[in-house]
Amino acid sequence: MTDKTNLQKTKDGVSRRTLIKTAGALGTALATGTLGAPAVWGQGKKTIRFLNTETSIDSIRALKVACAEYEKQFGTQVIVDSVPLDDAFTKVTTSLRGGQPYDIATFAFVGHVLLLQGEGHLMPLTELTSKHKWGPKILFPVKDEVYWYPYDYNLAWIYYRKDLYEKHGLSAPKSYAEMLKNSQTLTADGRFGSLFPIGSNGATNWLAPGFMWAEGVKLFDDKWNVALDSAEMAPRVTRYLDFFAELYKTMPSGASQASFGEVLSNFSSDKVGHAAYAGRIIEALERNAPKLSTQYGITPYMDSTGKAKAVNHGYDGWVVLKTPNSDESMKFMKWFTENQYINFLHTAPLHFQPPRLDVYDDPRWRAHPLIEKHKDAVEAMRGFITDKSVILTSIDTEGPAPDLRPGKVFEGFVIPEMLQNKILKNMSSAECIKTAADKMRKLIA
């Protein structure tokens, strides 16, 4: 992911998603044949072009050090270009049209991978991914082939102030009612009980639906029919909306416009008692509020009955494009994922949650000081992907298979608008659900 602390990712989302715009642009290019323009290649030393979207200084440095080592060993130059995540898909398609395509690229949206794979622009990476065991819903295979190499989960779960819980005699919430009570209790002493965004942005798409997933809501049925307003789902969505409207009363006034930065800053500056995010919050506490770095707890989203739990999906990975350099790019990716993968993960040690299950027990990964210090949180993170009772989904990964349709729902901000209709416009839950379902049908038509 890009540096979510600086809001480059709106799967902080995240904005992973310029699907509607870029899908249209890609379709036009494909129809006119411009993506198939002849490549222009120089002579001399082999060169690979790597498009990176992790724009932190540490991540860029780790990639460039790895590429320099590869050139030293094998003589192939690997040039790293780093751009904000929102620019990645446009940069890749522009490079294809211009005849000088990137050989390797970073994506955080399965829709972009599906678009490029569907037009024959990606190399299968199954030979690399098949060497390891992976967490659930991370490889997104197409006809038994994997077309990207995931390097992290960016799951969203709930953080709470453990010290305040101890002060007030609270326990980790298991149900909507307990979550609401705890948030109401912590709304005191100049502090708000919680912060969950509701604006039309990627932060809301990523951080607000977890309660809905725990309630067992599905956006589509097994035949891609919109299920949100079905007889089975509508009562579940109603419970979610009614709960969220009450929880909103414990939030600061800016929640309707909050994005990733506000969530990070409000929790790390002791302004809210609960917030949702991935591991980045722990890194932010270590950097900006060291006294709070041992005063947090984490828990999955919960349902209304106290029986189910969920985390919101998020992910990042690399693809290899079909170019005259594909063979060399595959050699580099094999070398990189075997020799430099853990070094790269260490550039955001708690935020880059490993999707490869072997990494959790690798002493090289475990040796990072922050991973050692926050080992309890790390084990909780691992539990989110190994505990089969934890529901793992997101707006863009809903449905019976990887597909572009959920991405359109994500880009259409259907769920954020449903929350806004309930909370800001005081619409009935039934009307909110109908409006959202109707918009979904228009988006995927």
- Which residue, chain included where needed, has tokens 């969505």? 237
| Strands 315-320 and 104-107, bridge-based pairing | antiparallel
Confidence of residue 2 (pLDDT cuts 50, 70, 90): very low
pLDDT of amino acid 86: 85
Contact yes or no for 122/322 (Cβ under 8 A): yes
3-class secondary structure, 408:
helix
Confidence of residue 194 (pLDDT cuts 50, 70, 90): very high
H-run or E-run covering 105: strand 104-107
Q: Dihedrals φ, ψ of 433, to 5°?
A: -65, -45
What's the mean pLDDT in 140-153? 97
- Name which of 24-38, 210-224, 352-366, 420-434 the model is least confident about: 24-38
pLDDT of amino acid 324: 96
Note every long-range contact of 224-232, with CB atoms under 8 Å and residues 24 or more positions apart, other chains counting. Answer: 224/399, 224/400, 224/403, 224/405, 224/444, 226/437, 226/440, 226/441, 226/444, 228/433, 228/436, 228/437, 228/440, 229/433, 229/434, 229/436, 229/437
Residue-wise pLDDT for 261-311, tens only, equals 999 999 999 999 999 999 999 999 999 999 999 999 999 999 999 999 999
Q: Dihedrals φ, ψ of 359, to 5°?
A: -65, -35
DSSP 328-344: HHHHHHHHHHHHTHHHH
Residue-wise pLDDT for 311-329, tens only, equals 999 999 999 999 999 999 9
pLDDT of amino acid 68: 98
- Name which of 8-22, 240-254, 301-315, 340-354 the model is least confident about: 8-22
**Relative orientation angle of helices 110-118 and 19-32, to the nearest 10 degrees:** 10
Average pLDDT, the chain: 91
DSSP 346-394: TTSTTTSB-SBGGGGG-HHHHTSHHHHHTHHHHHHHHHHHH-TTEEEE-
| Strands 301-302 and 309-312, bridge-based pairing | antiparallel
Decide if pLDDT at 8 tops 50. Answer: no
What's the mean pLDDT in 171-194? 97
Q: How many residues does the chain have?
A: 445
Decide if pLDDT at 109 tops 80. Answer: yes
Specify the amino acid at residue 77: Q
Decide if pLDDT at 213 tops 60. Answer: yes
3-class secondary structure, 49:
strand
Residue 445: both structure tokens together: 């038509």
Instruction: For the chain, give percent helix, strand, coil, nearest 5.
Output: 50, 15, 35
Q: Name the nearest CA neighbour of 395 among 434, 345, 436, 361.
A: 436
Q: CB burial class (10 A; 0-12, 13-18, 19+) of residue 347? A: middle
Q: How far apart are CA 115 and CA 121, in angstroms?
A: 9
3-class secondary structure, 76:
coil
Contact yes or no for 210/278 (Cβ under 8 A): no
pLDDT of amino acid 254: 82
Q: How far apart are CA 252 and CA 79, in angstroms?
A: 45
Confidence of residue 255 (pLDDT cuts 50, 70, 90): confident
What's the mean pLDDT in 79-98? 94
pLDDT of amino acid 27: 46
DSSP 134-175: B-SS-S--BTTB---EEEEE--BEEEEEHHHHHHHT-----B
Rg (C-alpha) for the chain, rounded Å, is: 22
Helix (H) and strand (E) counts in the chain: 20, 11
Confidence of residue 256 (pLDDT cuts 50, 70, 90): confident
Q: What is the dihedral of CA 150, 103, 93, 444, to 10 degrees?
A: -30
H-run or E-run covering 106: strand 104-107
pLDDT of amino acid 45: 81
Q: How many CA atoms within 13 Å lie on the side-chain side of 211? A: 30
What's the mean pLDDT in 179-198? 97
pLDDT of amino acid 44: 61
pLDDT of amino acid 6: 36
DSSP 229-289: TSTTTHHHHHHHHHHHHHHHTTS-GGGGG--HHHHHHHHHTTSBSEEEESTHHHHHHHHH-
Walk across the sheet containing 274-277 and list its strands.
274-277, 157-161, 296-299
More confidently predicted of 17 and 350: 350
